[in-house]
Structure 1
Amino acid sequence: MHVPPGVPATVLPSAPDAAVSTALHAANRAGIRIRLAEDIRTLEAVSRFLARVWQTPETQAPFGADALRAVVHAGGAVHYTADDDGILAASALIFCPPVTRAVYSLIAAARASDRGVGFALKQAQRVWALDQGAETMIWTFDPLVSRNAHFNLAKLGAYGTEYTVDFYGQIEDGVNGADETDRFTAMWPLLEPRPAQLAGPDLATADVDPRPGPDGEPFLARDASGHWCRVPADVVGLRRLDARLGAAWRYAIRDALVPLFAEGFTATGFSRSGWYHLTEGERA
């Protein structure tokens, strides 16, 4: 962590051994080594990588090298890993207000999502944040992107605590297209995350909403454990093939979830079959 000259520094805690062990195991399993990017050439490479992932010109990357340099100089962190073909995964995070004891993950991306690289990157962020005294990590993600929902809620053990309509406004890239940028706020308890694999609702016994989803199938249900809401399997591909259908899913999910969040529900799980589980009270 960079501390400018003249700024008082305090002794920071160390991440629990269990968190360090989880991070090392994840990195070894993925066959990678995660480092902190600090010099401008590495940060430029990270910026170019982010432009490729979000399908933008390098001159319009989601985060330019100058912005990443500022993140590092301000005491945040840019993590990355690379192979012979260049950057394999990268992320950037900053601190939230001190009273929250939280860090905010600005961006994270992995070139190979099927070998555990993204999970290892997130665990490295976790250890770094715990070393700085943080107890929570916060970020946003598109609630329609099922692979991210499963990764964040089921694999990491984060919660969806807030639904914001059109969070960023229109983004000119190859991932979001012309869709509105609704976002979940994810909150990840770093000391004791509770990942959980869910089977999804039993539609034979649950109270199924008569309104069908944009694909004509059930997408809302309720049972004794809370509410369930289904999203499409691959909305990014769907947007490319049928922008109108992608937009229909956006409005359907928005209309279903905004009232639930207003009532105090939280997205506490996500099934492999594409269903959010929303509960109230204790997050579990």
Structure 2
Amino acid sequence: MHHASERRYQCATLRNHAELHAAADLYARVFDYETPDLHLNTNLLSALVRNGGSAVGARAEDGELVGFAYGFAGRDRAGHEFHYSQAAVVDPAHQGSGVGRLLKATQRDVALGWGQRRMRWTFDPSLARNAHFNFSALGAEGVDYEVDYYGRPGTDRIVVEWALDRRDDPYAAARSLRPPQFRPEDWGRPIPADDDAIWLPVPAQPGDDPDVCRAVRSGLRGLVAEDRVLVACTRVDDRTAAHLAVRRLDEEEE
């Protein structure tokens, strides 16, 4: 499967050792992973490509690998099956150029090729920009909140689910709502909106104030624990963004 973006990138499955090695190097460099336990195993990536998973790379016009995403076939305790995207990484020099969306679109094609109709992944709850991409841009939902997802403190994650073959988005109207003019003193405080929806103002950029971090994480965890899903994250101004949570709608899986 091969895609060309509107700009200067191409994205496809990575198959040979040199491609996968370049992907592992990009991953370690961008995430600044220095310890071997956080590095990627190229044999594992190759096995994923052959057995229900994905390893896709985006290249610039000169052939340089500037984006990479990988995932595997997943199944939760309730028996729901999905493609789990473990990570997506973009070279800092190419961020904001559509590479992330291209990686996700290519992963989507790979997943559908395996017969997987949903994709899941996680992101750091302090990253409002990632939330905006996942919810407002891609049209996915935040469906769960996991404390210490990677088994160590400070690794709380929001779980995202993306319906890959959805024809009509039942949350489209909610995603288009504009938040009120919230201020920093509102950060982390759930605020009711129309139709039983709830806004949660958060910092637009991650910060190091522990009280704010705790309030935001507690607020997000509470929202998805109440049979709600996160469907949008919209910038209010340079300092503040706002999540929107609505009641979860049951979608029939054919």
TM-score calculated relative to the size of structure 2: 0.82
Counterpart secondary structure, 1:271: strand
Q: Give CA deviations for 1:90-116 in whole Å, capped at 9, x if unaligned.
A: 000111239534211111111222111
CA contact (8 A) 2:124 2:158 kept: yes
CA contact (8 A) 2:188 2:215 kept: no
Counterpart secondary structure, 1:79: strand
Residue matched to 1:259? 222
CA contact (8 A) 1:230 1:276 kept: yes
Q: Does 1:87 align with 2:65?
A: yes
Residue matched to 1:227? 198
After TM superposition, the structure 1 stretch with the greater mean CA deviation from structure 2, 83-92 or 192-201, is 192-201
Counterpart secondary structure, 2:126: coil
Q: Does 1:216 align with 2:199?
A: no
Residue matched to 1:116? 98
Q: Does 1:135 align with 2:117?
A: yes
Corresponding letter in the other structure for 1:44:
H
Residue matched to 2:23? 46
Measure the CA separation in 2 of the matches of 1:192 and 1:268: 15
Q: CA deviation at 1:143?
A: 1.6
> Would you say how many aligned residue pairs link Structure 1 and Structure 2?
235
Distance 1:43 1:58, change over 3 A: farther
Q: CA deviation at 1:85?
A: 7.4
Q: CA deviation at 1:30?
A: 2.9
CA contact (8 A) 1:103 1:137 kept: yes
Residue matched to 1:72? 49
Residue matched to 2:75? 97
Counterpart secondary structure, 1:234: coil
Q: CA deviation at 1:260?
A: 2.6
Residue matched to 2:163? 189
Give the percent of matched residue pairs that are identical in Structure 1 and Structure 2: 27
Counterpart secondary structure, 2:46: helix
Distance 1:248 1:89, change over 3 A: same
Distance 1:31 1:283, change over 3 A: farther
CA contact (8 A) 1:89 1:117 kept: yes
CA contact (8 A) 2:204 2:235 kept: no
Q: Does 1:279 align with 2:250?
A: no
Corresponding letter in the other structure for 1:114:
G
Distance 1:30 1:121, change over 3 A: farther
CA contact (8 A) 2:234 2:242 kept: yes
Q: Give CA deviations for 1:179-198 in whole Å, capped at 9, x if unaligned.
A: 71111110001112746444
Residue matched to 2:180? 201
CA contact (8 A) 2:52 2:114 kept: no
Corresponding letter in the other structure for 1:166:
D
Residue matched to 2:150? 168
CA contact (8 A) 1:51 1:60 kept: no
Structure having the higher strand fraction is 2
Measure the CA separation in 1 of the matches of 2:176 and 2:39: 32
Q: Give CA deviations for 1:100-140 in whole Å, capped at 9, x if unaligned.
A: 34211111111222111111111111112112211100011
Counterpart secondary structure, 1:29: coil
Residue matched to 1:106? 86
Q: CA deviation at 1:270?
A: 1.4
Counting only pairs closer than 5 Å after superposition, residues 236-255 of structure 1 correspond to structure 2 as: 238=207, 243=208, 245=209, 247-255=210-218
Residue 136 of structure 2, aligned match among 150, 154, 170: 154
Measure the CA separation in 2 of the matches of 1:256 and 1:199: 20
Q: CA deviation at 1:167?
A: 1.0
Q: CA deviation at 1:60?
A: 4.9
Q: Does 1:32 align with 2:9?
A: yes
